[in-house]
Amino acid sequence: MADEVILLDFWPSVFGMRVRIALAEKGIEYEYRGEDLWNKKSSLLLEMNPVHKKIPVLIHNGKPVCESLVIVEYIDEVWNDRAPLLPSIPYHKAQARFWADYVHKMVNDLGRKIQWSRGEKQEAAKKEFIECLKVLEGELGEKPYFGGETFGFVDIALVPSHSWFYTYETVGNFSVEAECPKLIAWAKRCFERESVSKSLPDQHKVYNFAMGLS
Q: In this predicted structure, what is the pLDDT of residue 214? A: 61
Per-domain residue ranges of the chain: 5-78, 90-213
Strands 57-60 and 31-34: unpaired
State the pLDDT confidence band at 1, using cuts at 50, 70 and 90. low
For residues 132 and 110, is the Cβ–Cβ distance under 8 A?
Answer: yes
For residues 6 and 30, is the Cβ–Cβ distance under 8 A?
Answer: yes
- pLDDT tens for 69-127 read 999 999 999 999 999 999 999 999 999 999 999 999 999 999 999 999 999 999 999 99
Domain 5-78: which topology?
Answer: Glutaredoxin (3.40.30)
State the pLDDT confidence band at 2, using cuts at 50, 70 and 90. confident
**What is the three-class DSSP state of 108?**
helix
Mean pLDDT of 16-34: 98
Domain 90-213: which topology?
Answer: Glutathione S-transferase Yfyf (Class Pi); Chain A, domain 2 (1.20.1050)
For residues 21 and 203, is the Cβ–Cβ distance under 8 A?
Answer: no
Q: Which helix (H) or strand (E) holds 18?
A: helix 14-26
For residues 96 and 104, is the Cβ–Cβ distance under 8 A?
Answer: no
| Claim: this prediction has a pTM higher than 0.75 | yes
Residue 10 one-letter amino acid: F
Distance CA 99, CA 115 (A): 24
Residue 62 one-letter amino acid: G
